Structure 1
Amino acid sequence: PTYGKIMIGDKGFEFFNEKNVRDFYQIPWNEIDLVIASVIFKGKWIPRFAIKTKKNGTYTFAARDPKRVLRAIRNHFPADKIVQSLTFWQVIKRAFRRKK
């Protein structure tokens, strides 16, 4: 994993690593399709969140205070596009349903 700073601005989401200049992500709001939060213990713990873009795939991030980051994202991005990821049991259940 790489560590860096997350900045949320009017134009988009930005991640940069001060130690490695090449480790830099800048994603405009109009390029983001979904924000997926991994929610555990009914929202008491959010270990990571992912940003799914329209063209370039999914980027996963972890923050010291992910709730604060997600609230800041919600100020610039529609709340209906911020969703919870599937739980472990939902993934297992989905796998068995597809086999039938």
Structure 2
Amino acid sequence: MAQSLNTTVSFQTTGVSYLGIGGKVGKFLVGNRALEFYADANVEDFIQIPWESINQIGANVSGKKVSRHFEIFTDKGKFLFASKDSGKILKIARETIGNDKVVKLPTLIQQVGRFFKPKKNKKQD
């Protein structure tokens, strides 16, 4: 049986995990020690990310609207999730891990724009 890392849960919502092939629908538990995702189809199929292991967490922001999709960067890799309450999850993460680890990720248009932007040549001495 899956054992939660959290002793208290401050927020619970539904969402999707994009780990592996296809998305898995399940529940997010945001607590005092970790961010956890438990799949609805199989509770034993879970992801537990302790707050200490998160290097960065971020989402696309346009104006004041936060995207449904958010990414978590750890030393083990990158995790992609989606939730209708991603803004609330990021707000709790900001309070827990600090303001510097919660970032705005570039939108698709910004990424494409960087690709076509001319590179500046550095003058050699």
TM normalised by structure 1 equals 0.83
Find out whether 1:46 has 2:46 as its counterpart. no
More helix by share: 1
Q: Deviations over 1:43-72 (max 9, x none)?
A: 324221110011x21111111211111111
**Partner residue of 2:51?**
29
**Where does structure 1 differ by over 4 angstroms across 4 or more consecutive aligned residues?**
97-100
Unaligned runs of 5+ in 1: none
The number of residues matched between the two structures is: 98
After TM superposition, the score normalised by the length of structure 2 is 0.68
Identity, % of aligned positions: 36
- Find the partner of 2:92 among 27, 50, 72: 72
2:26 equivalent to 1:4: yes
Higher strand residue share: 2
RMSD: 1.9
Answer yes or no: is the 8 Å Cα contact 1:38–1:85 preserved in 2: yes
Q: Give the aligned residue type for 1:8.
A: V
Given that 1:39 and 1:47 are in contact with CA atoms closer than 8 Å, whether structure 2 keeps it comes out as no
| Structure 2 unaligned regions, length at least 5 | 1-22, 121-125
